Chains A and B, each alone.
Chain A
């Protein structure tokens, strides 16, 4: 699950910053020659700066190749197996198909009729799978393949007024794992 990877990376990064700060804090009251401290610490700055730039370049090269925008801009390399239209209103969703097959590459065409909403797919463990904004005048297309049959929910993640949190509708995903295997 990507959420756990993100969490782990954050803990490592923040843990490192915290450790450095704690070390400096604990040594701060023991005086040393200022010029020597500055020379040593500023001397290593270019090295870790280059390392940081390297990490950024690697992260960008890995992640920028996986942007989810191709369908919206009519540049998708492959056509989806199925298209579902989703429209947000204050405070409900109209979905063209609410029973969907497992293991099928589905393109959700998302728009709104009144104010900004956000289409977010949640599984039955309350885990967010994918999202895109729903807004008046634009159609955002997000693709998703359900891995498991079950009950999923569309929730609104863009504040849209007093019943924003109640703007939920269910999707039923049917089929078997075998079907999913065969499709693959």
Chain B
């Protein structure tokens, strides 16, 4: 068996094309660190190690949530673009346009929070943006909602371009998902994982972002024409539909890096032209779109069939992840003789974080459990598990691989230590969220009861470890960025 070379540059992607991906990942690294610091400050405040006033706490909450969701989208888009571009003709101009629109949106959002004192949380639940009790003005709310709309438009352009390119190359989105091989004779010629995953994400996120745009526009109109009102339950459905699809899709984008990079380390291909793989991705396409009602299980007035859908689909949507991606990673790695490095370790960790994080998520989606867990810190516990230890681990693994492959930046002892620190800090940090959820600690609380203060303190220590590790990853990435961008 020949020794695999995981650092073979991809010749099917040109230097300008690589540069746009590097830009996406550089923005990801920088914003990620800043948002992590915001998260640490909030946890320290809850642990009474820092005296944040409630208005600052909720401004940081809004910043952290919006920033992290946005940056997960940017990171996922960067990964998707890098691998998808090797099979279809994506537009470089649109990739840059998306990034620029996102950054303009970010400036508006930052202005709304730090100049206008906007603090509705990233969920901007209607009609809170228009009912702040004097805490912020209509201008700030307009800047925030408008900024978010601009970010959404940027991403919509990105997905429309992906759809165009996939349809042009494969003849339709169904073919991009490998339906001829799934539902007919499997000739072994289904598209590669990057195309299948990108097709799925393109479908779900085009719908999700459009749903988000609808409620954003309606909220904007309501801000300036108060007589124009929206049904709050309908608004909540649209917000959580958009929010869930968007953040969920970031993991399905990031996992493309696992499918395409892990085999380069193990020497074992990750075949996509088998019915289990294709069925899993088609099932996920449907389930990601219809699973969002599990966010509204405590809205008793919602039709009961939607509640039941929320629980049933939440349970079943974990199956493709466990059976295809997590198990596929296990089969790919088991007794492969892999030579681990930081990138491979983070990619493998990412599949673990996703698989393990699904468990508390599925349990929370049980209506009778949600009755005592909803909006406690159990919720950020499970989503930080599969975002911090799952999605973001995959993104950081991809970034590390990029600067290793194109920038020649090899791992040292510090990088390896940072990898283990990330695991330790990450598990401790999200573990404390779950412990807090078990102990009924509410989420989004500027001030905690005495019995909850120690939770925040322990979590802050673990958060600091995560930030230290992430700082090493990001600094290494930035150190190798110039060479990676210039490499022929």
Contacting residues, chain B, for A6 (C-beta < 8 A): 363, 369, 373, 438
B128 close to A132 (CB less than 8 A): no
B125 close to A157 (CB less than 8 A): no
A91–B267 Cα gap in the complex (Å)? 60
A133 CB within 8 Å of chain B: yes
| Chain A stretch 57-97: residues in CB contact (< 8 A) with chain B | 59-60, 63-64, 66-69, 71-73, 90-91
A64–B442 Cα gap in the complex (Å)? 25
Q: Which one of A22-30, A98-106, A172-180 is at the interface? A: A22-30
Report A135-169 CB contacts with B as 1/0, cut-off 8 Å.
11111111000000000000101111111111000
A120 close to B442 (CB less than 8 A): yes
B440 close to A52 (CB less than 8 A): no
A136 close to B232 (CB less than 8 A): yes
Chain B residue nearest to A165 in the complex (CB): B445
Query: Interface centre among A21, A60, A63, A137, by most B CB within 10 Å?
Result: A21
A13 CB within 8 Å of chain B: yes
A113–B326 Cα gap in the complex (Å)? 46
Q: Which of B121, B434, B439, B443 contacts A10 (CB 8 A)?
A: B434
A60 close to B323 (CB less than 8 A): no
How big is chain B's contact interface, by range? 35 or more
Q: A126-B452, A135-B299 are in contact. Are A160 and B128 (CB under 8 A)?
A: yes
B330 close to A20 (CB less than 8 A): yes
| Chain A stretch 23-55: residues in CB contact (< 8 A) with chain B | 24-25, 27-32, 34, 37-38, 41-42, 45, 49, 52-53
B55 CB within 8 Å of chain A: yes
Contacting residues, chain B, for A139 (C-beta < 8 A): 301
| Interface of A (DSSP majority class) | mixed
Q: Which of A52, A126, A135 contacts B439 (CB 8 A)?
A: A126
Interface residue count for A (Cβ, 8 Å)? 77
Q: Which one of B15-23, B30-38, B79-87, B351-359 is at the interface? A: B351-359
A106–B235 Cα gap in the complex (Å)? 30
Q: A159-B444, A162-B55 are in contact. Are A21 and B366 (CB under 8 A)?
A: no
Q: A34-B268, A157-B376 are in contact. Are A60 and B125 (CB under 8 A)?
A: no
A166–B54 Cα gap in the complex (Å)? 10
Closest Cβ–Cβ distance, residue B340 to chain A (whole Å): 7
A167–B315 Cα gap in the complex (Å)? 34
B375 close to A131 (CB less than 8 A): yes
| Chain B stretch 197-230: residues in CB contact (< 8 A) with chain A | none
Contacting residues, chain A, for B371 (C-beta < 8 A): 68, 130-131
A7–B371 Cα gap in the complex (Å)? 15
Q: A28-B334, A73-B304 are in contact. Are A4 and B133 (CB under 8 A)?
A: no
Contacting residues, chain A, for B451 (C-beta < 8 A): 126
Q: Which one of B157-165, B305-313, B459-467 is at the interface? A: B305-313
Contacting residues, chain A, for B54 (C-beta < 8 A): 162-163, 165
A28 close to B233 (CB less than 8 A): no
Contacting residues, chain A, for B232 (C-beta < 8 A): 116, 135-138
B334 close to A68 (CB less than 8 A): no
Closest Cβ–Cβ distance, residue B456 to chain A (whole Å): 13
Contacting residues, chain B, for A171 (C-beta < 8 A): none
Q: Which of B127, B133, B334, B439 contacts A162 (CB 8 A)?
A: B133
B420 CB within 8 Å of chain A: no
Q: A37-B334, A69-B304 are in contact. Are A3 and B438 (CB under 8 A)?
A: yes
Closest Cβ–Cβ distance, residue A27 to chain B (whole Å): 5
B330 close to A137 (CB less than 8 A): no
A170 CB within 8 Å of chain B: no
What are 6 contact pairs spanning A and B, CB under 8 A? Answer: A21-B348, A37-B335, A114-B127, A133-B296, A162-B54, A162-B119
- Which are the 6 A-B pairs with shortest beta-carbon distances? A31-B337, A128-B440, A32-B335, A140-B300, A13-B359, A157-B375
Residues of chain A whose beta carbon lies under 8 Å from any beta carbon of chain B: 2-4, 6-7, 9-10, 13-14, 17-18, 20-21, 24-25, 27-32, 34, 37-38, 41-42, 45, 49, 52-53, 56, 59-60, 63-64, 66-69, 71-73, 90-91, 114-116, 118, 120, 122, 126-133, 135-142, 155, 157-166
Residues of chain B whose beta carbon lies under 8 Å from any beta carbon of chain A: 1, 54-55, 58, 61, 119-121, 123, 125, 127-128, 131-133, 135, 231-233, 236, 267-268, 276, 296, 298-301, 304, 307-308, 311-312, 315-316, 319, 322-323, 326-327, 330-331, 333-340, 348, 352, 355-356, 359-360, 363, 366-369, 371-376, 434, 438-440, 442-447, 449, 451-452
